[in-house]
Amino acid sequence: TVSVGGSTVASGGQFDDVESTMFQTSTPVAHDLAPLTLGLPTVIAAGNQTIAGTIRNFGTMAITSWTLNYSVDGGAAVAQSMTNTIAAGATYSFSHGTAWNATTGSHTVRVWASNLNGGADGNTLNDELEAAVNVATQSVQRTTLLEQFTSSTCGPCASLNTTFAPMLSSLNTNTSGSNVSAVKYHMNWPPPGNDPSYNPDGNSRKSYYGVSGIPDLFLDGAPLSSTSASAFTAAAAEPAFMALDAQATISGNQVTVNVSLTPYAAFTGSHKLHIAVVEHAYDYAASTTNQDEFHYVQRKMLPSAAGTTLSAFTPGTAQTYEYSYTFTIGSPAQGNYNLWTGMDNLDVIAFVQNNSTKEVLQADFASISVGINDLNNDVRLGLYPNPTNGTVIVDFDATTNGAVQFDVYDMIGNLVHSSSVNAAPGAQRATLDLSALSEGIYHVNMVNAGVRTSRKLVVSK
């Protein structure tokens, strides 16, 4: 029981970890409506937006008629007469019948109630609620990110994975063309706490999220409440307001990751770029549970678990980053970043995260392959701009005189464009007209003197 000035304001036995109640310390008046929440995200798409939220009757009288108002940037009020009854002490979920036609840029939306039962509000101190909203220039497909804390010594983790792992596989997680990515951080508990995949980078992510028990799961930076496939498809269906493109190449045991990100809104706050290099799958027979096969396991964060602090975002202005790391193959042990298998079993996941709220704005998956020329580190192939609305400048190095072939494939392997140019050895530039392509992710393959190089391209209109 919680009391203020001798009056009980909250009771009911044992409190949960998080519990709240609402009470007044001042003498209530007859008519007092106060908006509590406004359901507008900080970043939204342009176009019609419903003004919705909750409002509470702090007065002593039921409100049977009132006017719901909103205005944008101090403009004219948009009013709607309401005839529902809000009992004293009750909260009502409202939705304004006139949508706001949101335009690109930063705006302030103000909501208030008036004409309560035909009269004035008796308490003017809580009448209004404001929200700062940024309307993006465009939206793109979201790749949703799962971060899971687990261990080979965790019985509940193994039990979860009997159904969770097949579900992730059914979503083609960490596979080109999928909108679901995953990174799993292995911990050094419960006893015996000897999981060889535990390393300092995973421990840092544990501290960042405040993880104290496993399994613990986060989707786009928020605690995951449901492990059903629908939770992931729903998250991936939410628009993203940032394009993120990760490219990965290998040379020997070195992986090099190039990331380009383009924000489409002036996101506020401090943001970081994180890059996780993970092993797609490996077997560990010495597990202390019935789980011996492990997937999407973090082996190294680039450049470190601290990530890279990004410059302030300007809509439409790209930021690019490059990091490399040389792995040791074999003998993974607690504290090191060694690989269980080899370079041909690696995935790269890049994501941008608000450092304070932990919201993941966008993620991207880049698969690494070894032993094929598609990712030949000695052949230059640059695509600009990327994302593009149709016209692509291709900067490349030709190795011999003759034709250079450019083939563009969609994510299910259909050839959607083919062209060639004659080039002399050295640095060259060509232009591809891809204006006929629909929005989506494509692969541009270049073949020159039998050497095949591939890069991912995003078409966004």
DSSP string of 393-425, one letter each residue: EEEEEE-SSEEEEEEEEETTS-EEEEEEEEE-S
Which pLDDT band, with edges at 50, 70 and 90, does 373 fall under?
very low
Same fold, 144-371 and 381-459: yes
Burial class (CB in 10 A: 0-12, 13-18, 19+), 448: buried
- Tokens describing residue 214: 């496993």
Tens-digit pLDDT profile for residues 178-219 = 999 999 999 999 999 999 999 999 999 999 999 999 999 999
**Average pLDDT in the chain:** 91
Return the pLDDT at 374: 41
Looking at the domain 381-459, which fold is it?
A: Immunoglobulin-like (2.60.40)
- The DSSP secondary structure of 89-131, one letter per residue, reads T-EEEEE-SS-EEE-SEEEEEEEEEE-BTTB--S-GGG-EEEE
Which CATH number is 144-371 given? 2.60.40.10
> 21 pLDDT exceeds 60?
yes
Q: Where are the chain's structural domains? A: 2-135, 144-371, 381-459
CA atoms within 13 A on the CB side of 259: 29
Which pLDDT band, with edges at 50, 70 and 90, does 6 fall under?
low
Return the pLDDT at 122: 95
Largest CA distance in the chain: 91
Which CATH number is 2-135 given? 2.60.40.10
> 15 pLDDT exceeds 60?
no
Return the pLDDT at 90: 97
Tens-digit pLDDT profile for residues 252-279 = 889 999 899 999 999 999 999 999 999 9
Tens-digit pLDDT profile for residues 91-110 = 999 999 999 999 999 999 99
Tens-digit pLDDT profile for residues 128-185 = 999 999 999 999 999 999 999 999 999 999 999 999 999 999 999 998 789 999 999 9
> 76 pLDDT exceeds 80?
yes
Return the pLDDT at 378: 53
Q: What are phi and psi of 229, to 5 degrees?
A: -60, -30
